[in-house]
């Protein structure tokens, strides 16, 4: 087990330290799409009272059937000890936290009670994550970033991988919730934005793996060959990762039921590129003809291809 993995039995600090009280009251939930609905339903199945905020009244019946307590008034979440957001992008999270003049002028930042936790499980930029963390802190609230790796099927089966960052005591309070939602939680520090950086870079790796798989399978098909044996060989030798196995098989069989949907993939790739641009002097960019250094220094060394990831060697 990784040193970063959160165990349910782990206690921080000295033996005399009092472990933070877990959050046991009602849980607010915002973002009831395919992922969010599956996650909220798992919490309800574990006996938690989940207040689910939706803007569309026609969604209420479906959410009630999942054991949730749906509401179209976000004010019904403001008393919750923990509010989870599972929203598609920065703008949607911003609206929930800071409010919208046309629908919900009060957001979580202004209205959550002191000591409440905003548990953000959305895939958002590090800039937005830092803004949310500082805003909640000024209002006496807590903020934990816990984005997830996994698709709606994994969410339903409680097989998500969660990357959590925030104050240790706050993560401890959220531990029972995280245990209900995923198979493993990795705690990476006290800066929430770092969890979102890990998530964005991980999604970039997934996106590039899928793009590569699509291109090589296209070549195999153009030669009149069945791509399945090729995928089987690659995923049992050099490319045995989960993304290669799961999506390689889907591409070979041409089964394209939405999981990692394209608009969200593009959003995450753009955010990952924006993160890379913040560190531009030390970053290799893949554009057009492939990877090239931002600052070229020809002729000095002839390193291995793996050196393209580091600033210490310039090709």
In sequence order, the 6+-apart residues with CB closer than 8 A to the CB of 32 are 40, 52, 53, 54, 59, 63, 68, 70, 86
C-alpha–C-alpha distance, residues 74 and 29, integer Å = 10
C-alpha–C-alpha distance, residues 181 and 45, integer Å = 11
* Annotated catalytic residue within 3, 156, 199, 245: 199
- Whether 199 sits among the annotated catalytic residues: the reply is yes
C-alpha–C-alpha distance, residues 315 and 254, integer Å = 39
Token code pair at residue 209: 């793996």
C-alpha–C-alpha distance, residues 121 and 182, integer Å = 12
C-alpha–C-alpha distance, residues 218 and 257, integer Å = 19
What is the enclosing helix (H) or strand (E) of 174? helix 168-181
Q: DSSP letter at 7?
A: P
C-alpha–C-alpha distance, residues 38 and 43, integer Å = 9
Contact 7, 1 (CB under 8 A): yes
Catalytic residue list: 199
């Amino acid at each position: 087990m990784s040193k970063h993995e959160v165990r349910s039995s782990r206690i921080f600090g000295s033996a005399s330290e009092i472990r933070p009280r877990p959050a046991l009251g009602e849980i607010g939930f915002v973002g009831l799409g395919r992922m969010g609905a599956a996650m909220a339903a798992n919490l309800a199945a574990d006996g938690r009272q989940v207040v689910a905020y939706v803007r569309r009244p026609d969604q209420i019946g479906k959410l009630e059937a999942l054991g949730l307590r749906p509401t179209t008034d976000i004010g019904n979440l403001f008393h919750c000890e923990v509010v989870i957001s599972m929203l598609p992008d920065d703008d949607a999270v911003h609206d929930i936290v800071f409010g919208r003049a046309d629908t919900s002028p009060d957001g979580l930042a202004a209205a959550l009670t002191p000591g409440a936790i905003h548990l953000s499980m959305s895939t958002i930029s590090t800039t937005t994550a830092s803004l949310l963390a500082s805003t909640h802190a000024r209002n006496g609230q807590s903020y934990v970033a816990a984005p997830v790796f996994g698709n709606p099927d994994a969410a339903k089966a409680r097989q998500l991988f969660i990357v959590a960052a925030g104050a240790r005591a706050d993560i401890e309070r959220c531990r029972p919730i995280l245990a209900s939602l995923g198979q493993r939680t990795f705690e990476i520090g006290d800066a929430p934005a770092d969890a979102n950086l890990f998530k964005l870079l991980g999604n970039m790796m997934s996106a590039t793996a899928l793009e590569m798989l699509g291109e090589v399978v296209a070549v195999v098909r153009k030669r009149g060959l069945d791509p399945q044996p090729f995928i089987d060989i690659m995923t049992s030798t050099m490319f045995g990762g989960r993304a290669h196995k799961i999506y390689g098989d889907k591409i070979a069989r041409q089964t394209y039921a939405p999981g990692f949907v394209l608009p969200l993939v593009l959003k995450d790739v753009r955010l990952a590129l924006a993160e890379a641009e913040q560190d531009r002097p030390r970053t290799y960019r893949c554009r057009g003809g492939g990877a090239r250094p931002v600052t070229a220094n020809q002729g000095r060394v002839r390193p291995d291809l793996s050196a393209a990831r580091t600033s210490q060697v310039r090709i």
